[in-house]
Every structure is written in C-alpha cells, then in structure tokens.
C-alpha cells in the first residue's frame, strides 16, 4: 500500500517535515486518506525569530506601494493554479465547484483589492493619523500621530471552513502593513492552505521569512509570541477563551483579534406580505445561507425572524426550496450541496440538531432523500434542516447554541420591538440582514441592530440584483462582531491595517514634523 504523503511545513525560510505520523486528512465524502500533516519536532523559536528579524526587516524596508505590488504578484500565482486549488477543495473540503469559488476566488478578490488599496498609499513607510495639533500658543510646537508597522510577527490560527479565504483575508493587510505572517491552518483542511503557501514560496515573490505555514498541532505556537507580535484567531468560543487567557495575551499584552461563534439573524419587515418582494428575498437568502458550503460559514443565517402571521407561509416557502437541494458527492454535477469537512463535524452537527430539537419543532428535514453518489455510512453529508419556534421568547437553547451546518430556526414575533430584543439575545453577532421595501424601516432597524452586530446587511428590491449576500464578507466592509462573536474586527478597507500598526505621537517642531511627513502618507480609512 502506498503510504499517505506528509505535507512539509515552511518555517525559518525552509521546508521542514514534522516528526511522527501526524494527523491524516481524509476525503469527507469517500473517507479515503489524502495527506498527512505534523508540526512535531519543529524549532518554533527559530521560526518566529527568523520571521521577525529577517521577514519583518525586509518587508519594512519596502514602501506600501512596493508591498502592494507583491500582493498583485501573489494574485497572479494563485490565478495560475486555480484548477489545482479547486481539485484540493473537492477532495479535502467536500465542496461543490460553486462553493469552492466562495473560498478560492473570494481570497483572490480580497488580495487584489488590497493590492489596489496599497498602491494608492504610494512610496510611504508610515501612516499619518489625522492632522497636526498645536501644543502651545506658538504653532512651532505641535504633535502628529503616526502609525508604524509593528516590529513583530502575525500569527494566524484559522478555522477549517475557509482554508483559502481565511488565509489571505488576514495575510493581505498584514503583508501590506509590512508584518510577516505565520499561518496555522485548521488541521482537517490544511492541504489547500499549505499548497497555496507552497506556490507563493516557489514563485519567490516575498522576502525570506515573510510567509510561513505550520500544519498540525498548534502546541507551543502561542508560547513564542512577544509584546510586539499579534495573533488573530477564527474558531470556537472555547478556544478563544484559552487564547485570551494565555500569558502571551494576559501578561505580555500581545494584540489579539478573535472571531468566534455567532448566532446571525435575518429580520423581515412586519409590513411584508406573503409572496411580496421582501418576503421572497428573505426566503431565497435563507435557503442560500443554509446550503452554501453546507452551512459551514461563520456568517450563515441561524435565526429567522418573521411576523407571526407569516410564520407558516415562510416555513412552507423555505421548505419548498430546500426540497430541491440535492446532497452528496460534489463530483457529481447533479449535487447542489456537498459534505461537511469531516465525520467529526458530522457527529457534532447531528448532536447539535438533536439539542435544538428539545425546544424547536421540525419544519423541514431533508435526510429522507438519498445521497448522490455517496455512502451515508461514510460520507460527512448532512441534509438541510429547518426548525421553528412559535414562541421564541420562551426559548433558551435556540438563542445560545450555534449548530455549524445546514441548520436554521424560524421564529415568530409580534412586534418589531420584540424581534429586536430576541435578536439581541444572541449576545453579539457578525451580521444581521434586514428585508424590506421601506427605506425608513431599514434605517431604523439598522440603527437599532448596529451596536450588537459587526455588519447589518439590508436587502431591498432595488438592490436585489447587485447585493453581495448576507453571508459574503467583502474586503471593503468590516468583518467581526461584539460579544459572543469575539469582539474583533477584520477587513473594512484600509481599517484592517490598524491592527498591524502601532499608534504613537511625535511632539516636536514644525520643521521636524515636515521631515516626518515626507516619509508618510495620510491615513484615510
């Protein structure tokens, strides 16, 4: 039998195999072994020091415009290898071609966006934050706030659902800022991340130490972080708590960005009627969010709030569309929804559904339909499940537990005030979407929901054809959310650069500030 190949790690400027057998990555549909990963035996201290000293110094020696050009070169490499990435995504992530595009093409688009944004920053090496402020009666003494790239490394601990986009949406603003990155992809889907890093490294685009990848266990990674490093994590709230309590964060003040669990919501205007445009837009968006990437998106709709009079009509309309969703092997052209990433996630989702059922009624369950070209005893395929609750104010579990799969719960409300209160019981989310034909209602709902959400996505008939989607994270808009969503912020255009810079104030003469300004550019996020 041919042994399962081991993927090497790229650390300290060279490819290195981890020791031991490591973890085996499987095809989530066929159950067959694909590759192995291991980080055991790596000299992490050497790798982090190399990134800081070699990668960081080389990146900071470049201007924003020069670093933006490097991002543009990465885009070309990724575009040239798209077919290979799609093949890996099908095999390792179990996604259909359409769902793979969300991850792969979304990553390439984000990189291209930051390449253009960085080009506009010009030949500067620091950012001027705001105008000068007079410090005395005589205007000769002033203060200028500046943003300088941190002299550390950015550690990314990523989630399993977006091995491509999750890498580049973080790496693009970090590299543009002049900060080297070390990526720890989720083990289950690490192959795509590792392959992309390999292609970029082989192309010789970035300075040595600017880009590293460690596949396998995360043990010891946080221990390497120092005061000027940053860490960005996407995943469970449980792991987020461990990261926040680690001495690197708690004692050494390592800057930390967290994106965790999120019970995202969809809200229908109380004035809507069954079959009208706002109603139909909600139904279509809910179905899309339940089925794209098999519901494995941090931004997916988990709770659907509709006027009580429309509860049954909404349930029937969503169920009718879900009933047309074929589930199974993404290699079959008739399949519309692929697998979860692993049997471990399969078991977790089924257990989560059972937990939600203790409070909710089942409005649709697609599990009775046969899988397409897949063995249900092997494949990590879960059919869409729509649950419901007519008195959601009485529920507890439904407002606390997120099931990370093709699952959502329909909830009836009696007034807008009640709906808003129920949405806030999610205790902070990445995104809420609002469906209405009334601009005044949209503005009101957005203002009410803004403080508890990172993003409010308003879908009205006039933007139906061009809106980007409830769950799609666009680089020009903020991604993150308060409370249980992690309290972090990513993207948001050039705002993303702030995480990788340190703000300081230079207090001095006008002449000195003039010299400083010559090497900087105004920061206008």
The residues that are catalytic are 259, 298
- Would you list the DSSP string of 359-390? T-EEEEEGGGSPPBS--TTT------EEEEES
Strand order through the sheet with 385-389:
361-365, 385-389, 407-413, 301-307, 264-268, 429-435, 453-459
Residue 362: count other Cβ atoms within 10 Å of its Cβ: 12
> Cβ contacts of residue 506 below 8 Å, gap of 6+?
143, 144, 145, 146, 512, 513, 516
Residue 355: count other Cβ atoms within 10 Å of its Cβ: 15
C-alpha distances in Å from residue 106, one per residue of 111, 161, 166: 9, 13, 10
Judged by phi (left if over 0) then psi (alpha if -120 to 50, else beta), residue 137 lies in alpha
**In 358-489, where does DSSP find H-type helix?**
416-424, 439-449
Radius of gyration for the chain, computed over Cα atoms and rounded to the nearest angstrom: 24
Alpha-carbon torsion (177, 183, 188, 190), positive or negative: positive
């Amino acid at each position: 039998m041919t042994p399962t190949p081991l993927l090497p790690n790229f650390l300290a400027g060279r490819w290195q195999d981890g020791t031991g057998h490591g973890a085996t990555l499987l095809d989530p549909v066929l159950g067959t072994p694909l590759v192995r990963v291991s980080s055991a035996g790596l000299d992490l201290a050497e790798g982090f020091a190399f990134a800081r000293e070699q990668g960081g110094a080389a990146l900071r020696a470049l201007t924003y415009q020069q670093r933006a050009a490097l991002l543009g070169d990465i885009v070309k490499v990724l575009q040239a290898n798209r077919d290979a990435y799609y093949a890996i995504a099908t095999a390792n992530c179990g996604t259909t071609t359409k769902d793979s595009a969300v991850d792969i093409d979304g990553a390439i688009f984000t990189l291209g966006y930051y390449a253009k944004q960085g080009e506009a920053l010009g030949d500067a090496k620091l950012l001027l934050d705001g105008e000068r402020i007079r410090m005395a009666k005589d205007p000769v003494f002033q203060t200028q706030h500046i943003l300088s790239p941190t002299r550390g490394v950015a550690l990314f601990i990523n989630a399993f659902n977006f091995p491509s986009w999750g890498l580049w949406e973080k790496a693009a603003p970090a590299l543009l800022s002049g900060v080297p990155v070390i990526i720890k992809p989720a083990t289950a889907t690490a192959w795509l991340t590792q392959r992309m890093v390999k292609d970029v490294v082989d192309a010789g685009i970035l300075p040595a130490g600017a880009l590293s990848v460690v596949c396998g266990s995360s043990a010891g990674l946080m221990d390497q972080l120092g005061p000027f490093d940053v860490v960005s994590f996407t995943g469970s709230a449980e792991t987020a708590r461990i990261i926040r309590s680690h001495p690197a964060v708690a004692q050494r003040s390592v800057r930390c960005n967290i994106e965790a669990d999120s019970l995202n919501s969809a809200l229908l205007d109380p004035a809507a009627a069954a079959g009208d445009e706002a109603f139909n837009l909600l139904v279509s968006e809910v179905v899309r969010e339940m089925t794209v990437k098999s519901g494995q998106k941090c931004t997916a709709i988990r709770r659907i709030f509709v006027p009580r009079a429309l509860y049954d009509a909404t349930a029937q309309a969503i169920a009718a569309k879900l009933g047309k969703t074929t589930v199974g092997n993404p290699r079959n052209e008739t399949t519309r929804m692929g697998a979860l990433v692993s049997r471990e996630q399969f078991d977790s989702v089924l257990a989560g559904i059972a937990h939600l059922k203790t409070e909710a009624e089942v409005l649709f369950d697609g599990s009775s339909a046969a899988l397409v070209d897949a063995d249900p005893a092997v494949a990590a395929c879960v059919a869409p499940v729509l649950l419901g609750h007519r008195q959601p104010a009485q529920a507890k579990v439904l407002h606390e537990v997120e099931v990370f799969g093709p699952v959502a719960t329909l909830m009836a409300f009696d007034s807008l005030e009640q709906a808003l209160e129920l949405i806030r019981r999610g205790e902070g989310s990445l995104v809420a979407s609002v469906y209405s034909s009334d601009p005044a209602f949209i503005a009101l709902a957005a203002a009410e929901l803004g403080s508890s959400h990172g993003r409010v996505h308003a879908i009205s008939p006039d933007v139906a054809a061009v809106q980007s989607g409830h769950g799609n994270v666009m680089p020009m808009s903020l991604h993150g959310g308060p409370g249980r969503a992690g309290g972090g912020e990513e993207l948001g255009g050039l705002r993303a650069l702030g995480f990788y810079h340190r703000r300081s104030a230079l207090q001095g003469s006008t002449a000195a500030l003039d010299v400083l300004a010559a090497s900087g550019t105004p920061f206008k996020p």
